[in-house]
Structure 1
Amino acid sequence: MILSLHPINPEKRKLQQISDKLLEGNVYIFPTDTVYALVADSQSKLGVERLYELKNISKNQPLSLVCPNISVASNYIENLPNEAFRLMKKLTPGPFTFIIRANKHLPRVSFSNQKEKQIGIRIPDAIYLQELMKMHPNPLTSTSVFTNDEFIIKVESLEEIYGSRVEGIIDGGIVDIELSTILDVTGDKMIVLREGKGSDLL
């Protein structure tokens, strides 16, 4: 089911309904500031298991933790060097994935299968996700929509493939194919693991 939200002032009633459904273990597809992504509540075991099933990937494959801002993200970070903090402050919200060392507060249902306590944190510049997270009690867990070796950029194509398998697909129009830039900030110096959207800002 394709869902439409106002592009400037997303309806709070609709967002609250989505939030409630996420807490029940449902999965949605949201547009981000890069590609479309499968999204679940980070504390929902059912929702996270459905993410893996929909993406058809091993539970050892990493997922991303989506947060509204650095303040919320810091609740899950073991240690963030000053340089990395300044970088995150400069670049977020934006199309970046920050690889960080996670602390004991990391949602176990989302990340218990990962051997190393390192996760990717996303703080996307995407109005629908940002407005949803203002009312949703937990960070979100997400993974990009990738089918048959291709990123799906049209909401109509998403409906054909996932319409009966997810609770809803948020219409964000045609999105970019460009992926996020991945930055490893676990050490004293930042390392660029993948150049993507926004890499020109580094």
Structure 2
Amino acid sequence: MAQYFEVHPDNPQPRLVKQAVAILQGGGVMAIPTDSSYALVCQLDDTKAVERLRRIRQIDEKHHLALLCRDLSELSSYARVDNRQYRLLKQATPGPYTFILDATKEVPRRVSHPQRKTIGLRVPDRKGTQLLLEMLGAPLIASTFIPPGETEPLNDPQEIRDRFEKLIDGVVDAGPCPHQPTTVVDLTPMENGGEAIVVREGRGSLAALGL
């Protein structure tokens, strides 16, 4: 049975967020709000939790998972970034974007793309999620919460509770999220002098990135 936390979207209660952090630290898989839709998350270094997350979403190892980071200070440990890439990241974060970057050896193979050795990176602009990441002190593995066989991400925490409370360990309810996925941009071509490639246009503005 999933625990349910009603967190204020603008003034998240630290007591409740701390309880959610404890669930994650105990190996839990949770649904949390982001600035695009709700996402399924778990700890980066928890093999069983990552496997559960993939089973719930029914996705294989070729499906890109993302790292939810509090800010860019955590970036260098998990992705290789040159100056051009960093400038673009800095102007776009926090915000509703997922950036594909080359993963470092700190990222377990099970969560990076098996052929490309890449990882998605997100820095969400959502106060409750930011506080959760701050209290956890580490990035989270995340996947947009799109139910198996469906194409639209979930943005209603009560619906998530009703449909998935037996499969996940917790739901952080900070109100509905925008019903639109992140904009996904592949930054890896920039390493060789190329240009960023838009993989999916979503909520994040391409004009803001100069794309």
Letter in 1 for 2:173: D
Q: Structure 2: how far apart are the matches of 1:74 and 1:60?
A: 23
Q: Tell me the residue number matched to 1:10.
A: 12
Matched, 1:123 2:123: yes
Partners of 1:43 and 1:110 within 8 A in 2: no
Partners of 2:5 and 2:16 within 8 A in 1: no
Q: Gaps (5+ residues) in structure 1?
A: none
Q: Structure 2: how far apart are the matches of 1:7 and 1:34?
A: 14
Partners of 2:21 and 2:136 within 8 A in 1: yes
Deviation digits for residues 16-58 of structure 1, max 9, x if unmatched? 2222221221011011000111010111112111101111122
Q: CA deviation at 1:9?
A: 2.6
Q: CA deviation at 1:109?
A: 4.8
Matched, 1:195 2:201: yes
Partners of 1:39 and 1:143 within 8 A in 2: yes
How many positions carry a matched residue from both structures?
A: 200
TM-score w.r.t. the length of structure 1 is 0.91
Partners of 1:99 and 1:184 within 8 A in 2: yes
Q: Secondary structure at the match of 2:189?
A: coil
Letter in 1 for 2:185: L
Q: Secondary structure at the match of 2:160?
A: helix
Letter in 2 for 1:201: A
Q: Structure 2: how far apart are the matches of 1:8 and 1:177?
A: 19
Q: Tell me the residue number matched to 2:54.
A: 52
Partners of 2:94 and 2:123 within 8 A in 1: yes
Letter in 2 for 1:119: I
Partners of 1:44 and 1:109 within 8 A in 2: no
User: Map of 1:1-202 to 2, 5 A cutoff?
Assistant: 1-78=3-80, 80-111=81-112, 114-147=114-147, 148-149=149-150, 150-188=152-190, 189-199=195-205, 200-202=207-209
Letter in 1 for 2:142: S
Q: Secondary structure at the match of 1:58?
A: coil
Q: CA deviation at 1:123?
A: 0.7
Q: CA deviation at 1:96?
A: 0.5
Partners of 1:180 and 1:198 within 8 A in 2: yes
Partners of 1:43 and 1:108 within 8 A in 2: no
RMSD: 1.6
Deviates more, 1:83-92 or 1:188-197: 188-197
Deviates more, 1:46-55 or 1:15-24: 15-24
Q: Structure 2: how far apart are the matches of 1:109 and 1:20?
A: 23
Partners of 2:144 and 2:181 within 8 A in 1: no
Q: CA deviation at 1:59?
A: 2.8
Q: CA deviation at 1:137?
A: 3.0
Q: Structure 2: how far apart are the matches of 1:151 and 1:55?
A: 11
Q: Structure 1: how far apart are the matches of 2:98 and 2:85?
A: 12
Tell me: CA distance 1:27–1:153, structure 2 relative to 1, closer, same or farther (3 Å): same
Q: Structure 1: how far apart are the matches of 2:187 and 2:166?
A: 39
Q: Gaps (5+ residues) in structure 2?
A: none
Q: CA deviation at 1:153?
A: 2.2
